[in-house]
């Protein structure tokens, strides 16, 4: 996810300030590097930095620059580290085309090879840079600017929101969209604007055109025309929409909080992560199959993702995997780290001090150890210490409590598990395909769940308001879900939670149960289900108030429960293995509404920071 902003005017405007303000309002979409291109009468002045928008202003004093055309970008890196060279805008060989892009061009490697063989020179490692070069190529074949852009887009697989300018046609800017948002605002007869999202347009206009997939718009000063990428000769009529939101509401896409928005982002975060090439997961699987000892380490939510991942991978690998909290890694393994070991490190930020220290220490203690990491941030410190890494595609997460990044971490670990199954042939290929189908349907299951269930969860959370203590219980892989669900409620609603094994809870914790004590059971119909029914009875018979998370066809646990939250998924083993992904949104939503009931801000839990860089 990145933010793009552009404007074209027939006035001499304070263009530097307007362009930087535009991307500043989109900074929630990404903030690791940024840049801007201005028309300078001949071609473009392109200014970029690795770092935040303030650094761009500080370095080039752009606030005082005047002009009438600019495109600007704030980046969340996916291909290529967040360096100045990889930041947008990107240009062609002659620097006559300047382009900003949000999305991923999946077939960029083939297109780049083709363009290099034709003599194009690339300056960055990004997928985006193929776009200005392809446009240059089509212009060189005699096509118009519009036709060159259309032909380029038709060659691209993947997602894009782009804004592109051509030095020889300084009175127009072309924008287009496929699966990455673009909105357009027009101050009639004077200035036209485009952006990845509405907040950037609100200081200029409240009347916005929303571009649909495969649509293209030609912006001129104070006017706009729309076309279909698939039939670019025919104009499309579009009506502007009037936007009533405040800037802050718009950044949250109309949701009251980032936490809620980011839970609703989960289906897309998963779909985008599913587009990561298979070979990245295969590299992990190959190392795991060769390894003597395997450790998986992380903190907080990432640790609970790793608990779920350990179950999935062990199932197909047939080797023991040790989960170790990163802060205890060195204490537990001093003098015991064997050669030919593998460490999987999981960290949303890739900057958690204890996680970094664990892998650094391990590499020093046993130099032939392999570090495999899963993070959400390209170029983060963790990637620099890793032999292989996977960058999940959740996009920036603003809410302090992790939500969408958790499901993408578990998904990535699930995909690694299935690559292990393929390599080891630990299951017949038809079975592996069924697991794969179940895993790829997790975004649809979550989408359907969120569509149907949010209001009913809100209603029963009201009755829980008085409770200060909760148990979250599960067995097998659902212990991970119980612990992560409990952590969410702890963080955002400030309640005391014991997230525990349902079986182990009868060896002590059960003595706390009194009439009405709330116990949340995570109960997918997997191999642990029968015994979990027994555990539910134990707690119910002591007066516990039973809330259970079950699949829609569930009967036994449902009959024992005071409240059920039902997940719309088939009750087969293929789906059950991935229940940590499909069951967690229920608990995230519950925690979100509990925070509201207690008058707390779910985006800013007390005493917590998004990234913990102290030991
Ligand atoms: C929980 C949460 C924290 C982080 C933990 C690790 O919602 O956000 O528990 O999960 O601090 O952070 P990363 O994943 O960045 O290493």
- Active-site annotation holder among 2, 34, 165, 194: 2
With 90 as the cut, is the pLDDT of residue 50 above it?
yes
Q: Find residue 173's DSSP bridge partners.
A: 165, 219
Token pair belonging to 570: 């088939």
pLDDT range class, residue 236, cuts 50, 70, 90: very high
Ligand 1 centre to CA of 290 (Å) is: 30
Smallest CA separation from ligand 1 atom 4, residue? 300
Token pair belonging to 343: 């460490």
pLDDT range class, residue 607, cuts 50, 70, 90: confident
Pocket test for ligand 1, best of 262, 263, 300 (most atoms within 8 A of CB): 300
Strands, E assignment, 92-172: 97-102, 160-166
SS3 state at 390 = strand
Q: How many CB atoms lie within 10 A of CB 236?
A: 14
User: What pLDDT is recorded for position 396?
Assistant: 85
Dihedral sign of CA atoms 330, 336, 338, 343 in order: negative
Per-residue pLDDT reduced to its tens digit, 153-192: 999 999 999 999 999 999 999 999 998 889 999 999 999 9
Ligand 1 centre to CA of 463 (Å) is: 29
SS3 state at 477 = coil
CA distances in angstroms from 330 to 181, 333, 360, 369, 536, listed in the order given: 45, 5, 10, 14, 38
With 80 as the cut, is the pLDDT of residue 147 above it?
yes
Ligand 1: atom nearest CA of 375 is 14
Residues comprising the chain, all counted: 615
Ligand 1 centre to CA of 352 (Å) is: 8
User: What pLDDT is recorded for position 365?
Assistant: 94
> Mean pLDDT across the stretch 93-115?
95
Token pair belonging to 508: 């002590």
Say which range, 12-26, 122-136, 306-320, 460-474, has the weakest mean pLDDT.
460-474
> Mean pLDDT across the stretch 262-272?
96
User: What pLDDT is recorded for position 243?
Assistant: 81
SS3 state at 158 = strand
- Active-site annotation holder among 319, 363, 540, 610: 610
pLDDT range class, residue 380, cuts 50, 70, 90: confident
What is the CATH architecture of 252-440?
A: 3-Layer(aba) Sandwich (3.40)
Rounded to an integer, what distance in angstroms lies between the CA atom of residue 202 and that of residue 326? 44
Token match 């599913």: residue? 274
Q: How many CB atoms lie within 10 A of CB 234?
A: 9
Rg, Å, the chain Cα set? 26
What is the CA angle 400-405-411, rounded to 5?
A: 160
Mean pLDDT of the chain: 94
Per-residue pLDDT reduced to its tens digit, 385-402: 999 999 999 988 989 999
Do the beta carbons of residue 416 and residue 288 sit within 8 Å?
yes
Burial group, residue 410, by CB count within 10 angstroms (0-12, 13-18, 19+): buried
Rounded to an integer, what distance in angstroms lies between the CA atom of residue 513 and that of residue 525? 25
> Mean pLDDT across the stretch 208-234?
95
Please give the share of the chain, as a percent, with pLDDT higher than 90: 86
Pocket test for ligand 1, best of 258, 296, 298, 301 (most atoms within 8 A of CB): 301
Rounded to an integer, what distance in angstroms lies between the CA atom of residue 586 and that of residue 265? 14
pLDDT range class, residue 468, cuts 50, 70, 90: confident
Rounded to an integer, what distance in angstroms lies between the CA atom of residue 62 and that of residue 66? 9
Rounded to an integer, what distance in angstroms lies between the CA atom of residue 391 and that of residue 148? 32
Token pair belonging to 224: 């706009």
SS3 state at 39 = strand
SS3 state at 72 = strand
Ligand 1 centre to CA of 473 (Å) is: 21
User: What pLDDT is recorded for position 248?
Assistant: 75
User: What pLDDT is recorded for position 546?
Assistant: 97
With 80 as the cut, is the pLDDT of residue 226 above it?
yes
User: What pLDDT is recorded for position 508?
Assistant: 92
Per-residue pLDDT reduced to its tens digit, 340-373: 999 999 999 999 999 999 999 999 999 999 999 9
Dihedral sign of CA atoms 593, 599, 603, 604 in order: negative
Do the beta carbons of residue 102 and residue 1 sit within 8 Å?
yes
Token match 């952006």: residue? 195
Per-residue pLDDT reduced to its tens digit, 285-309: 999 999 999 999 999 999 999 999 9
What is the CA angle 201-207-209, rounded to 5?
A: 85
Ligand 1 centre to CA of 303 (Å) is: 8
Token match 């975060």: residue? 269
Domain with CATH 3.60.20.10 in the chain: 3-243
- 93 is known as an active-site residue: no
> Mean pLDDT across the stretch 551-565?
97
Pick the CATH number of 453-615 from 3.30.460.10, 3.30.470.10, 3.40.50.10490, 3.40.309.10: 3.40.50.10490
Domain with CATH 3.40.50.10490 in the chain: 252-440, 453-615
Nearest by Cα to 404 from 414, 392, 413: 392
With 90 as the cut, is the pLDDT of residue 611 above it?
no
Smallest CA separation from ligand 1 atom 5, residue? 300
User: What pLDDT is recorded for position 464?
Assistant: 85
Per-residue pLDDT reduced to its tens digit, 61-95: 999 999 999 999 999 888 888 899 999 999 999 99
Q: How many CB atoms lie within 10 A of CB 157?
A: 13
Full DSSP string of 296-329:
EEE-HHHHHHHHHHHHHHHHHH-S-EEEEEGGGH
With 90 as the cut, is the pLDDT of residue 609 above it?
no
Chain-centroid distance of CA 174 in Å reads 28
Q: How many CB atoms lie within 10 A of CB 425?
A: 10
User: What pLDDT is recorded for position 393?
Assistant: 93
Residue ranges lining ligand 1, Cβ < 6 Å: 299-302, 347-349, 352, 355, 401-402, 487, 491, 611-612
Per-residue pLDDT reduced to its tens digit, 511-555: 999 999 999 999 999 999 999 999 999 999 999 999 999 999 999
Beta carbons within 8 Å of 383's beta carbon, 6+ residues apart: 350, 373, 375, 377, 389, 391
Q: Find residue 372's DSSP bridge partners.
A: 344, 388
pLDDT range class, residue 31, cuts 50, 70, 90: confident
Nearest by Cα to 482 from 472, 493, 491, 492: 472
Rounded to an integer, what distance in angstroms lies between the CA atom of residue 574 and that of residue 549? 18
> Mean pLDDT across the stretch 104-133?
96
pLDDT range class, residue 501, cuts 50, 70, 90: very high
| 496-501: strand order across its sheet | 496-501, 469-474, 518-522, 545-551, 563-567
Fold topology of 3-243: 3.60.20
Pocket test for ligand 1, best of 307, 309, 326, 352 (most atoms within 8 A of CB): 352
Phi and psi, residue 379, nearest 5°: 80, 5
With 90 as the cut, is the pLDDT of residue 131 above it?
yes
Token match 């939503």: residue? 589
Read off the pTM: 0.85
What is the CA angle 225-195-242, rounded to 5?
A: 70
Rounded to an integer, what distance in angstroms lies between the CA atom of residue 84 and that of residue 62? 17
With 80 as the cut, is the pLDDT of residue 337 above it?
yes
Smallest CA separation from ligand 1 atom 7, residue? 401
Beta carbons within 8 Å of 225's beta carbon, 6+ residues apart: 217, 218, 235
Do the beta carbons of residue 190 and residue 111 sit within 8 Å?
no
Per residue in 492-523, is it b (16+ CB within 10 Å) or e — as a string? bbebebbbbbbbebeeebbeebeeebbbbbbb
Do the beta carbons of residue 5 and residue 183 sit within 8 Å?
no
> Mean pLDDT across the stretch 210-239?
95
Ligand 1 centre to CA of 19 (Å) is: 33
Rounded to an integer, what distance in angstroms lies between the CA atom of residue 326 and that of residue 332? 10
Ligand 1: atom nearest CA of 402 is 7
């Amino acid at each position: 996810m990145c933010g793009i902003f552009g404007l074209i005017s027939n006035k001499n405007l304070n263009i530097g300030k307007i362009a930087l303000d535009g991307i500043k309002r989109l900074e929630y979409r990404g903030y690791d590097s940024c840049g801007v291109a201005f028309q300078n009468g001949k071609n473009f002045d392109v200014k970029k930095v690795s770092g935040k928008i303030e650094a761009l202003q500080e370095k080039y004093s752009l606030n005082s620059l005047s002009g009438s055309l600019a495109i600007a970008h704030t980046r969340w890196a996916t291909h290529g580290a967040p360096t100045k060279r990889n930041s947008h805008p990107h240009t062609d060989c002659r620097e006559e085309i300047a382009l900003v892009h949000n999305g991923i061009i999946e077939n960029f490697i083939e297109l780049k090879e083709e363009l290099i063989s034709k003599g194009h020179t690339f300056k960055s490692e990004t997928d985006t840079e193929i776009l200005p070069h392809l446009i240059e190529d089509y212009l060189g074949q005699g096509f118009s600017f519009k036709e060159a852009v259309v032909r380029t887009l038709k060659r691209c697989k993947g997602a894009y929101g782009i804004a592109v300018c051509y030095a020889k046609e300084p009175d127009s800017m072309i924008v287009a969209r496929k699966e990455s948002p673009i909105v357009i605002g027009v101050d009639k007869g004077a200035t036209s604007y485009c952006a990845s999202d509405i907040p950037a347009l609100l200081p200029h206009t409240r009347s916005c055109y929303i571009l649909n997939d495969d649509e293209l718009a030609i912006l001129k000063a104070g006017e706009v025309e729309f076309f279909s990428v698939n039939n670019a000769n025919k104009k499309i009529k579009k009506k502007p929409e009037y936007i009533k939101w405040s800037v802050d509401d718009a950044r949250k896409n109309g949701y009251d909080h980032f936490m809620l928005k980011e839970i609703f982002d989960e289906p897309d975060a998963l779909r985008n992560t599913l587009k990561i090439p298979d070979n990245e997961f295969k590299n992990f699987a190959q190392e795991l199959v060769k390894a003597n000892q395997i450790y998986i380490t992380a903190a907080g939510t990432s640790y609970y993702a790793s608990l779920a991942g350990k179950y999935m991978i062990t199932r197909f690998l047939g080797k023991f995997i040790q989960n170790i909290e990163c802060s205890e890694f060195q204490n537990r393994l001093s003098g015991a780290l064997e050669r030919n070991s593998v460490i999987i490190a999981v960290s949303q930020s890739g900057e958690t001090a204890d996680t970094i220290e664990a892998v650094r220490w391990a590499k020093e203690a046993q130099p032939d150890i392999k570090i495999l990491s899963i993070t959400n941030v390209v170029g983060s410190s963790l990637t620099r210490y890793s032999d292989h890494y996977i960058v999940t595609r959740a996009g920036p997460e603003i809410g302090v409590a992790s939500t969408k990044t958790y499901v993408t971490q578990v998904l990535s670990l699930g995909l690694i598990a299935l690559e292990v199954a393929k390599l080891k042939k630990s299951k017949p290929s038809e079975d592996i395909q069924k697991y794969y189908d179940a895993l790829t349907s997790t975004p649809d299951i979550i989408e359907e769940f969120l569509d149907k269930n949010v209001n009913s969860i809100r209603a029963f959370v009201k009755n829980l308001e008085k409770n200060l203590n909760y148990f979250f219980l599960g067995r097998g892989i659902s212990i991970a879900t119980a612990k992560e669900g409990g952590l969410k409620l702890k963080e955002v609603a400030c309640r005391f939670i014991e997230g525990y094994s349902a079986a182990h809870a009868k060896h002590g914790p059960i003595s706390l149960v009194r009439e009405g004590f709330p116990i949340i059971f995570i109960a997918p119909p997997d191999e642990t289900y029968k015994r979990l029914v027994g555990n539910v009875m134990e707690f119910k018979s002591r007066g516990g108030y039973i809330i259970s998370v079950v699949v829609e066809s569930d009967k036994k646990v449902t009959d024992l429960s005071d409240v059920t939250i039902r997940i719309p998924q088939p009750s087969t083993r293929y789906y059950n293995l991935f229940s940590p992904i499909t069951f967690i949104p229920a608990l995230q939503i519950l925690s979100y509404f509990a925070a509201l009931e207690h008058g707390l801000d779910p985006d800013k839990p007390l005493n917590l920071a998004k990234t913990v860089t102290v030991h």
